[in-house]
Structure 1
Amino acid sequence: MKLYDHTINTLSGEPLDLTSFKGKKVLLVNVASECGLTPQYEQLQQIYEEYGGDHFVIIGIPSNDFMGQEPGTPEQIATFCSRNYGVSFPLTEKVHVKGENQHPLFTWLCHSGEKGEELEVKWNFHKFLIDENGDFVCDIDPRTLPNDKKITDWINS
């Protein structure tokens, strides 16, 4: 299974065509507006501006699964991200990233660990790297900043 085999809507409720990212490296990150890690939006936007385009994209996926830290409506989330961080990368609908109602995209991500290990979304701003072919590469701890050398080296490789 690949990233392109999944469906998810944009924050405005329209289908997001994941096949449009074929040939691009993708950083998927579950996001929240009221988390101590929320300032990572700034670094996410910076690397999106620096590297985004023909070969790299970031997709932010809001979730309210961790201590209710993303309580907003789609309109509130969009306004918050735009006003506070100038977010221009795609944002999806708010979904569950863990638990019995986990979105199928995150079920796939969590079952794509190295050597068949199951992964668990640890907190908001957990990052998942997907290669140009739509295959899972690795996950990155939520506290690792988006502009960490491990991520930027991967984007540039």
Structure 2
Amino acid sequence: VPTVGATAHAPHRLPAAMPDTAAFPSGLVRVAVCGAHLSGLPLNWQLTQREARLVQSTHSAPCYQLFALPGGPPYRPGMLRVAEGGAAIELEVWELSAQNFGSFVAAIPAPLGIGSVELTDGSQVQGFVCEAYATSLAKDISHLGGWRAYLRSIASNTARA
């Protein structure tokens, strides 16, 4: 019989990991997306294949900066909460099961991650955030108000060239 470390104690078997029902009493998690996961964009399938449903189109509170990150495709933005100089950023809020949320989060590459995002109405949901170090090589696109507006701006610049 195996023991724990240098003790004579048998290892305690932990129950299978289950979503925290205290944190998500309904079993559902709301997640705000601001870039390639928006409806109709290249990574939206990562939500829809997990049976997520669109709850609302809205904006963040006006305390974020949005950056076009280097790299891609798919091209992605990074949203960073700031103390001053922020803007309201266009978002979609999706709802999916806590179990599917876990597999969704596990697939997110750095410098992106999930954190608390404040919406324009003052409520908070889980949502995409960006590590600050990544913004040093990125283009600040906050003045455009969202990723879709940025994509339109680069498409029109390409058409003119």
**Range class of TM-score, shorter chain:** under 0.3
Bigger relative CO (Cα 8 Å, ≥ 6 apart): 1
| TM-score, with structure 2 as normaliser | 0.27
Higher-Rg member (1/2): 2
Q: Which has the higher strand share?
A: 2
Q: Which has the higher helix share?
A: 1
